[in-house]
Structure 1
């Protein structure tokens, strides 16, 4: 009994220390106006605590699934008819560019997988351009190394957030003729919470029933997207108070898995990953020029629509520069949803092919023996 009491006290101390340290770092990053401050703070603090042996062993699975569900629902609510209708007759070129971005991302991931510290699946998940938080949240579930996926994805987002406004201004002549993004009146908080909870519960239950991969992400994403497109509850949105909590849980989930060896492995991988991220950014910019040519939108709008990540920053620059925010948002959201759906199904297919190949090799070895 005394041993159990000591174990509980130690667990409480570890969690309290993690919460306080994360809050302090989060506050500093927020003052510095760093994008996704809660996510970066929780990842860095949890990784340091894990390597030093001061942190809890892991985030409880129900908490991790709840974080995935909250994030998925917030993305699903972006899939509204007004945004999608902005594509108009340009939906086919926009879809083609999104699929091309997926192919290029996976190709870059395969190249990253050539590094001795990274397998092909982890490389692909690390380089997929879109949905960084969602991919980190489901990386372990899909069979990838969530530590490498987390670092590479967040480096990609960070590089894009830093460079995108500069490129938009210096290369494409973005100005400040537009206004800020506005938002309409929302529904009461308790309604938002009940709808989000319902989407998570129904989505996960339905996804498990039909055996979808990554049910905690794809199930709530489908449920919330269908609800948004139905128009039944137009004013509902994921409460802003939930997203930082989800980001913190996702950051902890990845950070607590770090070890000294994994930190050294990430350090070896990072230079190669940064080079591939830069190449990916250039290719996406070229796809933006192609989208501009095919649809008649401006070069700036084509670039912003195809920028591989940093959705909030992209929309902010679009609004401030007077670009067609709705069109940019539509392309970005479509790409985001495609990436989040392609990753689980692609990972499942890859693992199935790899398992068959290994079984065939074992049979061949047995015959030779």
Structure 2
């Protein structure tokens, strides 16, 4: 296939994916579903990926731009009063993060009961945080990157799929009212607001990489825009209304296109078992959300979003669209993410070393 034909085929796939996703977005929005563009993009991308009709992946630049734009939107919502109240509730937030680590590591141990899965692979597959980083480092940490990739992206996809359904039908959140209030009466013209978003994303990613932050495309812009919000600058600025839905689309595509028939075949009979464990972790974390809401006095919706095990960008997106306490959700989610990313390499290294010692003793 010539280069020109390859480019044409790729462009046609992107056009088809975009057209069907937008159509699904419109239909789900009319049905009143929370975060309709995110949900539609994920479902459509999974179908396109499994049928071989979709692009291979979202370009890295597009993925980073979407995560950064979302992070800037969230950062501008940070409220000093909420940060002070979180300080009073720091212990429950950390305890919930530790409990999530224990539960996900325990689920990984159950996955490792299968003969085809090592202890390190099981743990890396079910750790609830930093999917992309864990997949990239799986081989170095002694895990099977094929299993880790499928199960980690399965976790993210299930979180993204279930959140809008739970929030729409269990919490009956009014996302349209929240969106309307957020975009009312902007002080700056749209092009100034868009320029600020672009600048904050670029500076944030650079800062995130310099500081070696986990998920720099999300955490870097979040820190930069959050610092601006806390300092009172740039004042009463609203992110253009079109930015967030487009970011949702790209984030949904990113998770959905990770699934292919080849990746699913690579773990074979292990797949149903992995699905059951991921669902189990999700349910337990929802109970943690109820407990966190009881301990801190926040709403059940905020507690649920704060303890959802994964998909940081998607969680923050839904949080922003539902009018929940986005600062609280972001802080608790960041505590979870940092705990997972610190603990995962340490635990995997210990498990790999233990397995090596066992093999040596058997050999002796």
Question: TM > 0.5 between the two?
Answer: yes
After superposition, the Cα gap between the structure-2 partners of 1:182 and 1:53, relative to the gap in structure 1 and judged at 3 Å, is closer
1:280 corresponds to: 285
Q: Is residue 153–residue 255 contact of structure 2 (8 Å, CA) maintained in 1?
A: yes
Alignment of 1:337-356 (within 5 A): 337-340=331-334, 342-344=336-338, 346-355=340-349
Shift in Å, 1:138: 7.0
Q: Is residue 39–residue 164 contact of structure 2 (8 Å, CA) maintained in 1?
A: no
1:262 corresponds to: 264
The answer to whether 1:208 aligns with 2:205 is no
Shift in Å, 1:47: 1.1
- Quick one: distance in 2 between partners of 1:77 and 1:200? 12
After superposition, the Cα gap between the structure-2 partners of 1:243 and 1:304, relative to the gap in structure 1 and judged at 3 Å, is closer
* Unaligned 5+ runs, structure 2: 139-147, 307-314
- Quick one: distance in 1 between partners of 2:213 and 2:131? 18
Alignment of 1:242-253 (within 5 A): 242-253=243-254
Q: Is residue 82–residue 328 contact of structure 2 (8 Å, CA) maintained in 1?
A: no
- Quick one: distance in 1 between partners of 2:343 and 2:99? 18
2:304 corresponds to: 307
Moved over 4 A (4+): 135-144, 263-268, 309-317, 359-369
The answer to whether 1:334 aligns with 2:310 is no
After superposition, the Cα gap between the structure-2 partners of 1:273 and 1:355, relative to the gap in structure 1 and judged at 3 Å, is closer
Q: Is residue 124–residue 348 contact of structure 2 (8 Å, CA) maintained in 1?
A: no
2:295 corresponds to: 290
Aligned length: 327
Q: TM-score, normalised by structure 1?
A: 0.74
Q: Is residue 50–residue 258 contact of structure 1 (8 Å, CA) maintained in 2?
A: yes
After superposition, the Cα gap between the structure-2 partners of 1:81 and 1:256, relative to the gap in structure 1 and judged at 3 Å, is same
Question: What's the RMSD between the two structures over aligned residues?
Answer: 3.6
2:153 corresponds to: 147
2:71 corresponds to: 72
Q: Is residue 200–residue 220 contact of structure 1 (8 Å, CA) maintained in 2?
A: yes
Q: TM-score, normalised by structure 2?
A: 0.75
Provide Cα deviations, 1:65-101, integer angstroms capped at 9, x if missing partner.
Answer: 111111111121121225445x3xx841x32332233
Shift in Å, 1:335: 3.5
Work out which of the residue numbers 154, 157, 170 in structure 1 matches 2:163: 157
Q: Name the SS for the 1:105 alignment partner.
A: helix
Shift in Å, 1:366: 7.4
